Structure 1
Amino acid sequence: MDPSENDKADSPTQRMGFFLVPHFSMMALSSATEPLRAANRVAGKPLYSWHLISADGEPVSSSSGFSLLPEFAMTSAPEFSHLFVVASIGVADYRNAQVFEFLRRYAATGRPLGGISLGTMILARAGLLDGRRCTIHWEALRALADEFPSLEVCRDLYCVAGDRLTCAGGTAAMDLMLDLIASQHGHQLAVEVADQFLHTRIRGSAESQKMAIQWRYGVEDRRIVNAITLMEQNVERPVPMKTVASLVGISPRQFERMWLKHFNVRPSQFYLELRLKTAQKLLHESTYSLLDIAMRCGFTGASHLGRCYRKFFDRTPGAERNAKDTL
């Protein structure tokens, strides 16, 4: 072990704070905290402690319905070496001025401040990501970029920009923590911690958030992969099928035959369903109007979206939005 590794091994216990926003992701929180517990176990000493905070110290319900009782209200929270805001669905209208001020006071100390999953949105609303590169869960990338057009929003699994750490959530929080463990206590400890969770490969920060198209759709043909990529990247302004076929290097007739063979639907129908499923996500997880959602998903208006939506899902967009409140 070289001297720098010894220095890391002798470093003091890091006190890690996790601020829970209502409807936070339990998956993201566990992915962030369990590697810290495992690091202590593997190292045989307390390298980290972790503590839950909420706005008022009262239990906070996760997106899955489980409630956790924090140790601290933000007004009585001690000092932390790192503080992470953990959020998920349901933050479209979250504008808690006292929470924003708490985060600004923490940021003024210069200690690392992070956002996990939609926690990035909370940091942005507190004005704490200005001039910083950041990431967020792929479903919220567009919403973050629209609300804060001056931010440098990337699609990375996680992003370390000075004393700001942002993460896409889910299992990406584990990769962020493994990166942190490696930087503080050496790569070998991070590898041993990853092995504890059968996490067979520590992913780099710049890896894609979404599973490769080949795996999602069970296809290997590069032309199909490129076509689906074009469709996913052009939901708001649908690209004509003739143009897609030309861009992937085949004739429109061959393109249609190939799509029917692999998916048993025409490519235009596949594209429409992709856009409708995007609209469904927005109905569940945003407060955008039906007209806004229609425009974001490539429909001419709310009535056009409604007709297509009802035909595919057998319910109206309005009924879909009302039903999500009962889930």
Structure 2
Amino acid sequence: MSKIRNATRTLSTDETPQRFVFVLLENFTMLSFASAVEALRIANRMAGRKIYEWSIVGEGGDFVACSAGTAFRVDSDLDELGRDDIVMICGGIDIQSATTKRLLGWLRREARKGLMVGGLCTAGYTMAKAGLLDGKKATIHWENQDSFSEEFEDVILTKSVFVVDGNRVTTAGGTSSIDLMLKLIADKHGEELANLVADQMIYSSIRTDQDTQRLSVPTRIGVRHPKLSQVIQMMETNIEEPISPSILASDVGMSTRQLERLFRRYLNRSPKRYYMELRLQKARNLLMQTDMSVINVALACGFASPSHFSKCYRAHYDTTPYRERGSHAARLSI
């Protein structure tokens, strides 16, 4: 109890609680939303009084379903906010459909008041669509990074777990909401209170905006070989203009034959095949998450012609790019 008293000793007892407004979008991710709210709830408990309060709003003011299928009754429609409110937009799957014209108009109007606006999980897309991230640093869930960077060239996209750029904040989804909220708590009420909240959440590794959201290459592939990791990183950052295996090998100080043996030994495929799979994975993300034409998707993933792209795509996914997009749209309409 002494730690709690020490952490809250500097908090003014007559301070007005900071109000968060969580905007639930259709098919929002419950984990990101719940993580943020729980951090605020626990902060109140550790402080011994209400230093934060929150409300939940949604378009229509009725129910909003999360991606797990559970429907949440919201407190109100998209009403006018106070100038000191902090807005947290909660995104999830199919963020494009959830980002409606009415929502964008409301968001632009409220943002003009100068209040802080945040996007959890994929909601960075909604903020960017509203023009709130132009010229600013931001992040979004790694699965949406390819499509985001293609659509919003004026946004400085990072791979961080969260980003705070002035009064605009974004997170990568999942438990990164906890990291963001702990930073906001620390900024307003001190590190000790934030640490108490983390302890209550059994959250032992607090991340900063310098931490990246995806696992390192060695962890992802289950292999700790420095030159192999270096080559894979080069492949991942050069999708639109693929680098030949001979140049990749030369850049890490080995022969093409040695590189071939390295990939065969650890990944059971050739460098060329592995590279192709990376490019096709990005292509699939773009087909699912953007309105880019198949031709433009092909070019963005390093294919010189749509016919070659379609042939490679079908060989890997057993369907054509056109059918993939059509079946995805059909699934979302169910």
Q: CA deviation at 1:221?
A: 0.8
Which residue of structure 2 aligns with residue 288 of structure 1? Answer: 292
Q: Does 1:46 align with 2:50?
A: yes
Which residue of structure 2 aligns with residue 81 of structure 1? Answer: 85
SS in 2 for 1:8: coil
Partner Cα distance (2:146, 2:283) in 1: 13
SS in 2 for 1:143: helix
1:170 to 158, 168, 174: 174
Partner Cα distance (1:237, 1:92) in 2: 28
Check conservation: 2:83, 2:114, Cα contact below 8 A.
Answer: no
Structure 1 segment 253-292 matched on structure 2, within 5 A = 253-292=257-296
Structure 1 segment 77-156 matched on structure 2, within 5 A = 81-92=85-96, 96-156=100-160
SS in 1 for 2:79: helix
Which residue of structure 2 aligns with residue 8 of structure 1? Answer: 11
Q: CA deviation at 1:234?
A: 1.1
Which residue of structure 1 aligns with residue 199 of structure 2? Answer: 195
Partner Cα distance (1:243, 1:172) in 2: 37
Q: CA deviation at 1:9?
A: 5.6
Check conservation: 1:60, 1:68, Cα contact below 8 A.
Answer: yes
**Letter in structure 1 aligned against 2:312:** C
Check conservation: 2:7, 2:192, Cα contact below 8 A.
Answer: no
Superposition RMSD in Å: 2.5
Partner Cα distance (1:267, 1:99) in 2: 45
User: 1:61 and 1:303, CA in 2 relative to 1: closer, same or farther beyond 3 A?
Assistant: farther
Which residue of structure 2 aligns with residue 29 of structure 1? Answer: 33
User: 1:250 and 1:135, CA in 2 relative to 1: closer, same or farther beyond 3 A?
Assistant: same
User: 1:130 and 1:235, CA in 2 relative to 1: closer, same or farther beyond 3 A?
Assistant: closer
2:234 to 230, 235, 257: 230
* 1:160-182 deviation digits (Å, cap 9, x = unpaired): 12222122222211100010111
Check conservation: 1:8, 1:186, Cα contact below 8 A.
Answer: no
Q: Which runs of 5+ in 1 are unaligned?
A: none
Partner Cα distance (1:305, 1:181) in 2: 48
- Single out whichever of 74-83 and 277-286 deviates more from structure 2: 74-83
Aligned length: 327
* Identity among equivalent pairs (%): 35
Partner Cα distance (2:205, 2:44) in 1: 20
Structure 1 segment 198-217 matched on structure 2, within 5 A = 198-217=202-221
Q: CA deviation at 1:246?
A: 0.9
SS in 2 for 1:207: coil
Partner Cα distance (2:146, 2:319) in 1: 26
Check conservation: 1:107, 1:113, Cα contact below 8 A.
Answer: yes
User: 1:32 and 1:78, CA in 2 relative to 1: closer, same or farther beyond 3 A?
Assistant: same
* 1:139-175 deviation digits (Å, cap 9, x = unpaired): 3334333333233333222121222212222221110
Check conservation: 2:26, 2:98, Cα contact below 8 A.
Answer: no
Q: CA deviation at 1:257?
A: 0.7
* 1:15-56 deviation digits (Å, cap 9, x = unpaired): 211112222222221222221122223333222222211122
- Single out whichever of 273-282 and 239-248 deviates more from structure 2: 273-282
- Single out whichever of 73-82 and 102-111 deviates more from structure 2: 73-82
SS in 1 for 2:67: coil
Q: Which runs of 5+ in 2 are unaligned?
A: none
Check conservation: 2:146, 2:282, Cα contact below 8 A.
Answer: no
Partner Cα distance (2:215, 2:113) in 1: 38
Which residue of structure 2 aligns with residue 308 of structure 1? Answer: 312
Which residue of structure 2 aligns with residue 61 of structure 1? Answer: 65
User: 1:143 and 1:9, CA in 2 relative to 1: closer, same or farther beyond 3 A?
Assistant: farther
SS in 2 for 1:74: coil
Check conservation: 2:147, 2:285, Cα contact below 8 A.
Answer: no
Which residue of structure 2 aligns with residue 181 of structure 1? Answer: 185
Q: CA deviation at 1:93?
A: 5.4
**Letter in structure 1 aligned against 2:151:** E
Q: Does 1:326 align with 2:331?
A: yes
Partner Cα distance (2:130, 2:38) in 1: 28
SS in 1 for 2:195: helix
Check conservation: 2:39, 2:178, Cα contact below 8 A.
Answer: yes
